[in-house]
Amino acid sequence: MAEETNSLDQETKLAQELTRSIRHFNRCHHPEVINENIKPKGMMLLHYLHHKKRHGHTLVTLSSIGEELRLSPPSVTLLLNPLEKHGYLKRVRDLEDRRVVFAEISEKGSKAVQELYEQFLHNAKVMVHLLGEDDTRTFIDLMNKLTRLFRAYKDEQKPETTES
């Protein structure tokens, strides 16, 4: 029992240290604001539309945006409004079913995504330079391992569905 408590204490201490480390990194790594009109969630939306367009899907339904970003329909609308107002995207109604609405990224929206990507890539290059190749490869391997393990853990936590 004492070993289990000691082990738990060590695990808790490591978890707290990890959390602190991530928090400290996030504080020193605030990216410069490229565009004050686009909030982080809005940039995620533009990135999603940009990605879809690059893969041949120019028009994306608002419902698929909601699913991808895990947002309710009213939240998707609130997110789209300022982006449309500033010309980063436009809404297009389906000609056959007027209830279906699509979003399409504009050239201005694609440019904003590209600028953010270039900033992100620059920051990644700085990290590679600061860590060096060996530590960067180790970091990548650890992140990939953690992602794989955490996905497996999350899958195990899902309640099993029974067929009726």
Contacts 24+ apart (CB under 8 A), 110-113: 110/50, 110/53, 112/34, 112/35, 112/38, 112/43, 112/46, 112/88, 113/43, 113/46, 113/47, 113/50
Domains of the chain, each with CATH number or no CATH = 32-157 (1.10.10.10)
Region of 71 (left: φ > 0; alpha: ψ -120 to 50; beta: rest) is beta
Per-residue pLDDT of the chain (164 residues; tens, 9 = 90+): 555 556 679 999 999 999 999 888 888 866 565 667 788 899 999 999 999 999 999 999 999 999 999 999 999 999 999 999 999 999 999 999 988 999 999 999 999 999 999 988 999 999 999 999 999 999 999 999 999 999 999 999 988 765 54
Alpha carbon 104 to chain centroid, angstroms: 19
1's CB contacts (< 8 A; 6+ apart) are: none
Angle between helices 133-157 and 107-131 in degrees, nearest 10: 120
DSSP designation for 58: -
